[in-house]
Copies of this chain bind each other. A is one copy, B any other.
Amino acid sequence: MARPAPSSDVVSIDPRTDTVVEEVAPATSDTDVARIAARASAAADSFGRTSRAFRAALLRAVADGLESRRDEIVAVADRETAIGETRLNGELTRSVYQARLFADAIEEGGYLEAAIDHAGPTPMGPGPDLRRMLVPIGPVAVFGSSNFPLAFSVPGGDTVSALAAGCPVVLKAHSSHPATSKLCFDILTGAAATAGAPDGVLGIVFGQAAGAALVADPHIKAVGFTGSLSGGRALLEIIERRPQPIPFYGELSGLNPLVVSPGAAAARTTEIAEGLFTSFTVSAGQLCTKPGVVFLPRDAAGDALRDQVVRLANASDEFTLLNSRIRASFFNISARIAGAPGTRMAAGAGRAVDRIRVAPQLFELQAADLTDTVLEECFGPSTVVVRYSSPAELEAALTRLPPSLTGTIHCTDDELDGFEPVIRYFEANSGRIVFDGFPTGVLVSWAQTHGGPWPATNSLHTSVGVTAVRRFLRPLTWQNAPAAVVPEELQEGYTAIPRRVDGALVPATSTVAATTSADASVAAPSTA
């Protein structure tokens, strides 16, 4: 193995003190990236053919492994991210739940979209026997995010989506929590080994250059990425230079506009103020669903609501951000927003902060003064309040925003009709529209969507929730195939999954346990 120079070692930094705590791993060399990707590719066929019961058992082993080392994981993640043990415990719970939910989902089997069209006459002549289902796309590169060291990183949604689909995963460890990444990776590989998964189903690389080499590697067949728009653009450019382009699933950016109607501001002033303050400061405002621009009416209720948020912000503790790069960015973007014409700093100005911690900030301006400068996404405990004086002014202001992951509206029942243009704007320009609540907190479930038109994401899919598995699957049809060849899910008489047979939906009438090996710990190819 070609060892890089020590200067390129990946180190773990404590953001509370801005000091290096340990060297975690050498930056992975190009040679090693190629070797790891090739191992993943070699494992893809056998892993892709494991039964759903086998992969469900693997995911549950992952969940158990994470749960069994909860305290250790939370401690190292907190040391590397300063996120705090309460939220990190919640994030671990979420990661564990997520792995188990995907296990349930692949056992249920609807995700396969299995369909059988029997041979027979058609208006175009005799039709063949066609059997279709989704199959794994192949090795997936997963880039974790800085702000979710667990739920959107090594043991996160992209990883379990890909494993559920039957795809090997090569992780790019995030530079902001490499030790957490390494610990979780070891737990995942332990679970995979215990479950009997093929060697190469999980791999990890360290260092930015290794991540770029990974995306360029011909063995990689899809990329999952959660991070900045610029980071996503850089990976997309690498993909565009590949001889064979591959799908890129980037969760990239979001202002997450939140609109409060005059009626809601008057009727629920305190409730909205407290919810809003929590929503833009939870996790130090470092959430991709943070409401980054808030539209309040230009009236007394809007003033009162703003004043309450200002009081909460000024009374708040300071926050430690994830790393020095994000902190520098927070200060730079904040300065630009503060300097925008017509913009004032309603909270946070002059707050004493030390070299490390930052205070919550609230900027305020009139809708007429809205410019692109104040619409720059600012990771951290900060939001921009825009005051509007009429529905027309609000609607015009919204059209200046880029699409987001979410759009939120607080209004009374009486105002609903009048706010229809706002609702339609959010339906067209986000992946989730929230009523009388707050966008932060993304439940992992069947009906969730965490996506949206570019630059929120560039895909037609969600990265949170069960349907995230679809990103790593592609359809395959067997025509007039001998029964010995087709997967068990497409055999005549298989009843453990919902299928579409000759166009009609046929629900499952048995469970997977009845038709698969009782010993799910042994990898059993699902096809001949």
**Interface residue from B45, B428, B443 paired with A124 (Cβ < 8 Å):** B443
Identify which of A22-30, A166-174, A356-364, A471-479 touches chain B: A471-479
- Tell me the minimal C-beta distance from A39 to chain B in angstroms: 17
* A94 lies within 8 A of chain B by Cβ: yes
A231: which B residues are within 8 A, CB to CB? Answer: none
Residue in contact with A416 in the complex, picked from B132, B455, B462, B482, CB distance below 8 Å: B482
Please give the count of copies of this chain that the complex contains. 2
**A476 with B432: CB separation less than 8 A:** yes
Smallest CB-CB separation from A464: which chain B residue? B477
Contact B431 A476 (CB under 8 A): yes
Best-surrounded residue of A423, A453, A477 (most CB of chain B within 10 A)? A477
Q: Contact at B446–A479, with CB atoms within 8 Å?
A: no
- Whether B475 and A461, one on each chain, are in contact in the complex, defined by CB atoms closer than 8 angstroms, is yes
- B-contact bits for A447-460, CB 8 A (1 contact / 0 none): 11101011100101
Q: Whose C-beta in chain B lies nearest to the C-beta of A437?
A: B480
B93-A244 in contact (CB<8A) = no
Contact A476 B117 (CB under 8 A): no
Whole-angstrom distance between the Cβ of A352 and the nearest chain B Cβ: 34
Report chain B residues within 8 Å CB of A108.
503, 505
Q: How far is the CB of A285 from chain B (nearest CB, A)?
A: 20
From known contacts A448-B132, A475-B467, infer whether A480 and B93 are also in contact, taking CB-CB under 8 Å.
Answer: no
Nearest CB in chain B to that of A424: its residue: B45
Question: Is B244 a contact partner of A454 (Cβ separation < 8 A)?
Answer: yes
Among B97, B428, B471, contact of A123 (Cβ-Cβ < 8 Å): B97
Per the 8 Å Cβ criterion, residues 58-113 of A in contact with B are 90, 93-94, 97, 104, 108, 110, 113
Q: Are B97 and A124 in contact (CB under 8 A)?
A: yes
Known: A460-B247, A474-B460, A475-B461. A446 touches B500 (CB 8 A): yes
Contact check, A446 vs B476: say whether CB atoms are below 8 A apart.
no
Q: Which residues of B contact A435 (CB under 8 A)?
A: 478-482, 485
- The contact sample of 5 A-B pairs, CB cut-off 8 A, is A131-B447, A432-B478, A435-B480, A448-B477, A460-B475
Judged by a CB distance under 8 angstroms, whether A488 is at the interface is no
Is A413 interfacial (CB 8 A cutoff)?
Answer: yes
Shortest A258–chain B CB gap in Å is 13
Q: Does A122 contact B (CB under 8 A)?
A: yes
Using known A-B contacts A93-B123, A244-B454, A484-B416, determine if residue A117 contacts B477 with beta carbons closer than 8 Å: no
Q: Which among A443, A470, A482, A528 has the highest number of chain B CB atoms within 10 Å? A: A443
Contacts of A413 in B (CB 8 A): 482
Interface residue? A197 (CB, 8 A):
no
Report if A115 contacts B (CB, 8 A): yes
> Is the C-beta of A127 less than 8 angstroms from some C-beta in chain B?
yes
| A45 surroundings in chain B (CB, below 8 A) | 424, 428
